[in-house]
Structure 1
């Protein structure tokens, strides 16, 4: 077959750039079959089934090549697509002599609903997802009733404690705060960590943790209760919910300890009955709810002791008055006898 050559002027516009080149139609103008997309190909169109240097998908592929006019090197701009998807395009640039020397990976052009971007991407201005007019550096809007979800995923799957994702705040190049999302080793249980730095020259340190079981730790990485605080707490008001009070002290069948028993117990143990000792409090801490009820119990017992003492005092006062009356009558009798 006689080979015919026809010069065609082609203008390609990609993004914000355009270029004009001279190419040739070879033979009948159909793509040439090749087995390797990384070899020094001449400018033109090619096709292959799973060639070397193939696209991410395995299929029949089309390749468009713009080759440097100097045949002693292998500078190429390649644009390719797979036959089975009409709206998916890739591009890459090959280097002189070695296809892996400069950017050998394929980069997907944003031409469809789903795109795969490889390498560093720089965007100047605000980014809007689901909105044409973003007012922040990143603004996400969902037009339907489902929530707008941002998902952070990590491929690492070993048994160590892995920071699956993080949100970092930086002043220039200095990280000043961080929210970490680690995974507990060997499990799919995750927790949250909040990091800050106290001074310009210091390092970020973890200040707050929400553990995988829901416990919250402030100043500690091992919260053992719903809220564990390693430090002081200043509050205008603290409300503690309790299951029961101490009013059982006022029931008729309550066995109020005698003051003699309390006196002997204090002399022997150096603390009140049913109240932990100072050493126990230092070693184990105190349950605020239980301690408040026990203190209220002791106050109510003290009230009963006071009432009992007041009753006895009133009785003694009455007896004293009787004795005083008798004494006065005796004095009068003595005066009569004289």
Structure 2
């Protein structure tokens, strides 16, 4: 027959009354022999009772047993502090941990001003305050393909944000380990500064979000190659949807009611499968017909064309839906009309010009109204043709001026002859 042993250990403990404000008392350690084993350390001579307890419990569900660590602090009731389950999970503040390590405690206030206020604290100690060291939470995964050789390959590190004495501004790094120049080093993937600025690839962001990485080759042909990428997912390739970057500003004059009022959206430029041609829209929101819509202010096609107010650019590099106002327009032409003044230029007679107008209803080398309506005009080419007609007209005027002077000379001679005859 097994012996049931009740072990009672009486320990005399001396308390500093200044520190604990309680009188000397006897602590007792009890180990029971029941089905739910327990060990209790109790101090019942002060307040409602202090102590610690370790006990085994079968919750009756989940296929597990629990080893609980409980305590009471000036209270007659026990509170579970930590639980170790038979399947290897540890819970702090919970007796039903859902992960290997599970902490449960009241919410931490978002705007708390306490110097230590979190559900879990990791403290790094040092003899000084400097921005190059801090407290870290590390993540270990295998370095070998067989699951062995565990290495810390990612971590969250918090350091001081400055070296000033008596300050509590912090800086947070989210880091991964990488092999650089044959050495394993930590890469600062994401940096959060006490100013609220966030840096990706930089530890000194000068804006709320600053991304720094190597310059992108203008002629890069990689599938994805940018300093920052925005991806829109879809079950199809459709020119009416894409990935967008939006800009929000207030809709009300008092700075409230924030609405997205501008965006850059990139869609497919066609619906062909296996095709990566893109189309980019720069859009602003406008109100029309009782609804808010997006205006196609600027459209860039994969052909290199640009549309202002339109997606349909035809064969043109720039198409504008509407009028264009400009202080000056420069057209670079490949030729000009000075050939009219060449000695070998055959100038039509005015009779020939008249005949052409009579038969066709427009000047030679000038398109008809029907042609202009259908095809429009090339500004540089039309200006050259108009100049050609002006130069031809100038030649006609020069010739007419010669004829006029000749006629005037003949008239003068005839007048003199008539005058002489009258005086005889």
Shift of 1:140: 2.2
For residue 159 of structure 1, report the CA deviation from its aligned partner. 3.9
Q: Which residue of 2 aligns with 1:207?
A: 297
Structure with greater helix share of residues:
1
Deviation for aligned residue 1:146: 7.1
1:138 to 209, 215, 221: 209
Correspondence 1:190 to 2:278: yes
Distance 1:64 1:216 in 2: 64
Consecutive unaligned residues in structure 2, runs of 5 or more: 1-36, 40-52, 56-61, 68-86, 103-138, 144-149, 156-172, 179-185, 187-193, 218-225, 250-256
Do the aligned residues in 1 keep the contact of 2:284 with 2:296 (CA within 8 Å)? yes
SS of the residue corresponding to residue 308 of structure 1 reads helix
Residue in structure 2 matched with residue 292 of structure 1 by the alignment: 383
Equivalence for 2:176: 112
- Name stretches of at least 5 consecutive residues in structure 1 with no aligned partner: 8-21, 25-38, 45-62, 91-108, 116-122, 334-338
- Correspondence 1:161 to 2:239: yes
| Preserved contact between residue 126 and residue 134 of structure 1 (Cα < 8 Å) | yes
Please report the TM-score for the alignment, with normalisation by the length of structure 2.
Answer: 0.52
Q: Which residue of structure 1 lines up, in the alignment, with residue 263 of structure 2?
A: 178
CA contact (8 A) 1:43 1:67 kept: no
User: Highest Rg: 1 or 2?
Assistant: 2
1:316 paired to 2:407: yes
Residues in 1 aligned to 2:408 and 2:339: alpha-carbon distance in whole angstroms: 31
Pairing of 1:80-119 with structure 2 (within 5 A): 82-84=141-143, 86-88=151-153, 110-113=174-177
TM-superposed CA distance for 1:297, in Å, is 0.2
Written as runs of structure 1 = structure 2, the 5 A alignment for 1:1-338 is 65-67=89-91, 75-76=98-99, 82-84=141-143, 86-88=151-153, 110-113=174-177, 125-142=196-213, 149-153=227-231, 158-161=236-239, 163-171=241-249, 173-184=258-269, 185-186=271-272, 187-199=275-287, 202-224=292-314, 225-333=316-424
Give, in angstroms, the shift of residue 173 of structure 1: 4.9
Query: How far does residue 257 in structure 1 lie from its aligned partner after superposition?
Result: 1.1
Q: Give the superposition deviation at 1:198.
A: 2.8
Cα displacement string for residues 221-244 of structure 1 (whole angstroms, at most 9, x for unaligned residues): 021211111111111100000111
The DSSP-based 3-state class of the residue aligned with 2:199 is strand
Q: CA deviation at 1:326?
A: 1.0
Q: 1:206 to 1:270 in 2, by over 3 A?
A: same
- Evaluate the alpha carbon distance shift between residue 331 and residue 168 of structure 1 in structure 2; reply closer, same or farther with a 3 A threshold: same
1:152/1:164 contact within 8 Å kept = no
Write out the 4+ residue segments of structure 1 that deviate beyond 6 Å after TM superposition: 39-44, 68-71, 144-148
Mapped to 2, the partners of 1:215 and 1:67 lie a distance apart of 63
